[in-house]
Amino acid sequence: MRVALAVFSVLVLAVTGVVVYNQFQSTWQDNQKAYFNQALTLAKSDVERAALTGREPKIEQTIVSGFGAQRIDRCTSCHIAVDDPRFDSAKQPLKTHPYSEAMGDVLKNGHWQRKHNFTDFGCTTCHDGQGRGLTVADAHGEEEFWPSPMLGYTTQGDWKKENADHLKGAAFLQANCAQCHTDKDFKGTPEVAKGRELFFKKGCFGCHRIDGLSAGTLGPDLTQIGKERKLDYLWGHTADPRAYSATSIMPKFQMTDAERTSIVIFLKSRHGNSQSESDVQKYVNKTAASVVLPESATALEGAEAAKMSQVERGEKLIHGLACLSCHKLDAQDGGISPDLGYEGMERDDQWLMAHFKSPRSRIPDSNMPAFGLPDADYEALTAYLLSRKTPPSNATSAELYKQLCSRCHGEKGDGKGPNWLYMDPAPRDLTSAPFMNSKPRERFINSLHEGVAGTSMPAWGKVLNDDQINGLMTYVEQTFVKTPRNPIKARKIPDANPQKSTPESIAHGQEIFLQRCTGCHGRKADGNGPNAMDISPRPRNLLNSAFVNKASDHRLFESIEYGVDGTAMPSWIDSYSQNDVGDIINFIRSLNATGK
């Protein structure tokens, strides 16, 4: 016991000693001592020298209260020479902060005078980082948990390597300049201005709200995104949204690195509460009902635009607006959404207008936002699309498939073309022989001819002639389905629903539906049952009125009684009588009958 006591006592003394010793060995103390020594050699008078020799290192700090919440910046504890012009060629941390005329500093009587005085601004107002820290890791915000590491300088440990390389440089500081300099054309923040332009050009404004800028509702509000997220997230999420949130519906927009840098800087500058705005202005922005139009659109309202025809105006708009950052038109391709080249032949003006105003009124699960533009613009766009009447050049079926179908159905016919991720319902997998062979050829021809209502599949019958359509179908059968078609066994399917649509019938149908169907189709029949995410193709959204109302009773009977081959839909013929199935169909139809 006595030995133990002695050993532990000495151990405690030793550790205490180490702790006390370390307390008086800080980097900032060393840095200050180095500064005093170097300043001593530069000193011109004895008084100055005496003052320097008598100086002891102490924590230097600036209390900044003028810009937002109070902050305490102790950066000058190490960077003690920031305001000492004699150290402009020294190495960090003892380097003078550069003077810059662009930032408003002026040279007067041989002395530089700063516009952004450090005693007023501190350091973190512009640079971010953790002002209270006194070690490099703490102060620069290298430590993973610090929400605002030094902009364009510090890379945190958990940042993705491939992102981190893009996130260095003084340009990122513009995000903080823009906190006060909100002026759109402020010459000190060109990247923010470029980012703002891209925010409209790339269509971001369609889905995202930024108070005072845009009013999208499909995606999250970005008013404060710069305060909530670090550069790594902003870069990574715009580059590949699903890598950061698995269920994101945000598409991967095509952008160059330079464009992405601008967008990231712009987003980083969104703090929600700009210093230069009054509280009243913030409230006005927040509650503004009217949508701010992108400049590209408003630019077309001038005198020159008045002289244009609707079609010309539409053409300008479709290129000036964000349409082609998703859609394809001729040579331009956003790689996300359908080709607009033949849309004018496939759809009529009513459909187009309604779809512009509310895409989901025509394709209920579309990811296209309602951009909220003035009707005149939509009319012009419609007029332009309708004016395009040139069918695709006569070519082989293979070329036609590649040109018209592969964008969604994929070059291999597996339903995974470049757009497939953003299509709901997903493009049909044409290689799925069980499905393809369980339906008569006429049905597919019909789909090609008339399109599939409520989905992105357009009516190719208005673009192609019957030979071309037959050729395409044959091409699909030979190239993708491959397995020869067996004669389909005769199925006992009524052509019309034997059950009358009475409240009792609907109630019974609902009862069965709630019992057996909700696991996949969901309690609301919207196709979002708890198992839906694990099923491919996804369960049908039975609230897609355009689709359901177009589907015949015969087809619904067949799908329910015999199941759908090649999908997760099972056969219910052993469980339910035709009358039961009739009730279910009545229930489903009743869901889609509202308002008609």
Cβ-based nearer residue to other proteins, 17 or 169: 17
Name the one range near other proteins by CB under 8 A: 6-14, 358-366, 437-445, 522-530. Answer: 6-14
Q: How far is the CB of 71 from other proteins (least distance, A)?
A: 9
Q: How far is the CB of 215 from other proteins (least distance, A)?
A: 21
Q: Which amino acid makes up residue 365?
A: D
> How far is the C-alpha of 327 from the C-alpha of 337, rounded, in Å?
5
Q: Binding to other proteins by residue 9, rule CB under 8 A?
A: yes
Cβ-based nearer residue to other proteins, 135 or 182: 135
Q: Are 418 and 402 in contact (CB under 8 A)?
A: no
Q: Are 155 and 167 in contact (CB under 8 A)?
A: yes
Cβ-based nearer residue to other proteins, 74 or 316: 74
Cβ-based nearer residue to other proteins, 82 or 193: 82
Cβ-based nearer residue to other proteins, 72 or 299: 72
Which is nearest to 464 in space by CA: 387, 415, 405?
Answer: 405
Name the one range near other proteins by CB under 8 A: 109-117, 211-219, 297-305, 510-518. Answer: 109-117
Interface map 199-228 toward other proteins (x if CB under 8 A): -----------------------------x
Name the one range near other proteins by CB under 8 A: 11-19, 193-201, 373-381, 516-524. Answer: 11-19
Q: Are 276 and 180 in contact (CB under 8 A)?
A: yes
DSSP states of 49-104: HHHHHT-------EEE-SSSS-EEE-GGGT-TTTT-GGGTTSPTTSPPPPP-GGGT
Q: Binding to other proteins by residue 362, rule CB under 8 A?
A: no
Q: How far is the CB of 41 from other proteins (least distance, A)?
A: 13
Q: Binding to other proteins by residue 16, rule CB under 8 A?
A: yes
Cβ-based nearer residue to other proteins, 133 or 364: 133
Name the one range near other proteins by CB under 8 A: 13-21, 152-160, 437-445, 470-478. Answer: 13-21
Q: Binding to other proteins by residue 306, rule CB under 8 A?
A: no
Name the one range near other proteins by CB under 8 A: 79-87, 284-292, 420-428, 588-596. Answer: 79-87
| Exposure on the CB side of residue 475, measured as CA atoms within 13 A | 19
Q: Binding to other proteins by residue 13, rule CB under 8 A?
A: yes
Using CB under 8 A as the binding rule, the residues of this chain from 116 to 135 that contact other proteins are: 119, 130, 132-135
Cβ-based nearer residue to other proteins, 10 or 514: 10
> Other CB atoms closer than 10 Å to residue 38's CB: what's the count?
17
Interface map 22-61 toward other proteins (x if CB under 8 A): -x---------------x-----------x------xx-x
Cβ-based nearer residue to other proteins, 72 or 258: 72
> Other CB atoms closer than 10 Å to residue 389's CB: what's the count?
9
Residue 431, both tokens: 């290689």
> How far is the C-alpha of 125 from the C-alpha of 233, rounded, in Å?
21
Q: Which amino acid makes up residue 134?
A: L
Residue with tokens 């996130």: 167
Write the burial class of residue 17 (CB in 10 Å: 0-12 exposed, 13-18 middle, 19+ buried).
exposed
Backbone φ, ψ for residue 107 (5° rounding): -95, 115
DSSP-assigned letter for residue 386: H
Interface map 85-104 toward other proteins (x if CB under 8 A): xx------------------
Q: How many residues line the site for other proteins (CB under 8 A)?
A: 48
Q: Binding to other proteins by residue 136, rule CB under 8 A?
A: no
Cβ-based nearer residue to other proteins, 39 or 551: 39
Q: Binding to other proteins by residue 299, rule CB under 8 A?
A: no
Q: Binding to other proteins by residue 530, rule CB under 8 A?
A: no
Residue spans of beta strands (DSSP E) within 248-401: 328-329, 332-333
Distances 523 to 421, 520, 592 between C-alpha atoms, Å? 25, 9, 15
Among 49, 90, 112, 592, binds other proteins (CB under 8 A): 112
Q: Binding to other proteins by residue 147, rule CB under 8 A?
A: yes
Q: Could you write out the three-class secondary structure of 195-207?
A: HHHHHHHCCHHHH
Cβ-based nearer residue to other proteins, 234 or 476: 234
Cβ-defined contacts of 216-220 (< 8 Å, 24+): 216/369, 217/369, 218/249, 218/367, 218/369, 219/249, 219/250
Residue 277, both tokens: 């705005």
10 contact partners, CB below 8 Å, separation of at least 6: none
> Other CB atoms closer than 10 Å to residue 404's CB: what's the count?
20
Q: How far is the CB of 60 from other proteins (least distance, A)?
A: 9
Start-to-end C-alpha separation, the chain: 92
Q: Binding to other proteins by residue 576, rule CB under 8 A?
A: no
Q: Binding to other proteins by residue 1, rule CB under 8 A?
A: yes
Cβ-based nearer residue to other proteins, 24 or 594: 24
Q: Are 440 and 488 in contact (CB under 8 A)?
A: yes
Interacting residues with other proteins (CB under 8 A)? 1-6, 8-13, 15-20, 23, 39, 51, 58-59, 61, 63, 69, 72, 74, 83-86, 109, 111-113, 119, 130, 132-135, 138-139, 145-147, 228
